[in-house]
Chain A
Amino acid sequence: MTADAEEEIAARDFASIVESHRPQIFRFLLSSLRDVDLAETLTQECFLKAHQNWKQFRGDSSAMTWLMRIAINLQKDHWRNRRLQFWRHTQANAIGVDAASDWLPNGERSAEQQILAREQVAQVWKAVDGLSERQRTVFLLRYVEEQELSEIARVTGLREGTVKAHLSRALGRVRAELRGNK
């Protein structure tokens, strides 16, 4: 097989990976940042980095784990830069908790159920807002992306026990928020 052919196969593989994993990466970044523009930018950067390092991807872990790790690192860098330059960016583009909870699927629900669901979503957003960066990441990976604990541990570089502890604290916070406003 010639080098050109190999490159073409690799490019096709990468394109299929982008196609299949992009929505998930974007959703994770959107839930972490609550900023559509920023989530789009970081998703682009994530795939750009992945493309640059695609040859080095040995397939030890799944492509999703690898991409998610890149996304988490980009998000970390973003928060770090923002902390350092907080005086430059006084106005963030992140939307509020109430606006974020306006999104609900058009299912077969009554108006009352819709209102209740919106309230619950707002409360979960509020709880997520109060979590630390690490707790938020673990929480979103577990309950939105539905990843296994071992996979979360691989993605975040934490031990499984630590992931469990973070999850337990995050869940406690969500529970308290839901009960407190009941």
Chain B
Amino acid sequence: MSSRNKLTEEIDDPMVVGALENFKSSLNAWSEAVRAEAAYSRPRTAVRTVRHAGASWRLAATWVIACVLAAGSLAGGLYERHQRQELARIAALKAAEQKSAAQQKAAQKLALTNKAPEQRVAATIVVTRRQPTAVKSAAASDAELLATVDSDVSRQVPAAMEPLAQMMDSSGTN
């Protein structure tokens, strides 16, 4: 049985049969062409990969660089993490301090508001008790000040007719 008949029996689609036939003949043509060139029958030498000394150095250097980079990135990550934790701890401490300060302030305020009426009464009493002496001392100082000022003014300002008298005196002598 020919290959065409075999394919037709197996596949009912003539387009697929045609394509498969073309595919097969194309592959045959290709392999025959290679054969005709006698390429596949030429002696072939086995290829063994030889590792040069330079290549191994390069490989070692690559490994070292890779290890250094990996260690560096790991250390960097750890440092960053530690830094963040430290900052968070400091922030928490500050917040706690602020909180306690605010609490203290609030307690003081509360205490003051409780004591305020009593203190106000005491302050009024003190003021009323101190008032007469303060008034007296203020009046005394005012009188002293006025006296000084009066004497200064009287000393500085000449008598009303004095310039005229002086003129008359000077003309008389002339």
Contacts and interface: CB of A to CB of B under 8 A. Distances in A.
Q: Do A and B come from one complex?
A: yes
A26 B13 contact: no
Nearest to A143: B20
Given A146-B6, A171-B11, A178-B19, A31 B27 contact: yes
Given A36-B39, A146-B6, A175-B13, A27 B27 contact: yes
Interface residues on B, range: 20 to 34
Given A27-B28, A30-B31, A146-B3, A121 B44 contact: no
Interface string B3-29: 100110001010110111011111111
Interface stretch (A4-12, A38-46, A60-68, A150-158): A38-46
Nearest to A99: B30
Interface residues of A: mostly helix, strand, loop or mixed? helix
B34 interface: yes
A22 B38 CA distance: 13
Interface residues of B: mostly helix, strand, loop or mixed? helix
Nearest to B47: A41
B93 interface: no
A40 B39 contact: yes
B24 A144 contact: yes
A105 interface: yes
Given A146-B6, A175-B13, A120 B18 contact: yes
What 8 A-B pairs come out closest when comparing CB atoms?
A103-B30, A120-B19, A27-B31, A124-B23, A40-B40, A117-B22, A103-B29, A121-B26
Given A30-B31, A40-B44, A104-B22, 8 more contacts: A26-B31, A27-B27, A36-B39, A100-B26, A104-B29, A105-B25, A121-B26, A178-B19
10 contacts: A27-B31, A40-B40, A103-B29, A105-B29, A123-B19, A124-B22, A125-B23, A171-B11, A174-B19, A174-B20
